[in-house]
Amino acid sequence: MLVESETPETKVTGALTLAALLTTVSVVITTLCNKDPWGGMSLSLETASWAAIGGLLALPLAGLRAYSWSPGAIKALPILEDVQVTQLSVRARCFYWPGINDLAFEQL
């Protein structure tokens, strides 16, 4: 396929451009139709309280993630070291920009 031959950077750039274009067109159309393009979204006390609840519910997941990168977790589950190396490798390949972060990429 045509998309398979593209580089990851080109794919991400294309997806972001398409998303920005689609968002802009939808905001313009809803504005022209005298509708609220944000769907009634506003910053209110209720919005802030739900954001706080979401943040509190995310704390155990963040703690588990932090623990999974600790030396104690690696001793308990040696497979975590392989997972971490794979995650770092994928992240490095996704954010590799020739000439900008060559040294960081070579260190992996």
H/E/C letters for each residue in the chain? Answer: CCHHHCCHHHHHHHHHHHHHHHHHHHHHHHHHCCCCCCCCCCCCHHHHHHHHHHHHHHHHHHHHHHHHCCHHHHHHCCHHHHHHHHHHHHHHHHCCCCCCCHHHHHHC
Q: What is the pLDDT of residues 45-76, one digit of tens each?
A: 888 898 899 999 999 999 998 898 888 988 99
Within 13 A of 94's CA, how many CA atoms are on the CB side?
Answer: 7
In the chain, domain spans: 1-38, 68-108
What's the whole-number mean pLDDT along residues 27-50?
A: 83
* Chain position carrying tokens 């504005």: 31
Given a cut of 80, whether residue 3 has pLDDT beyond it is no
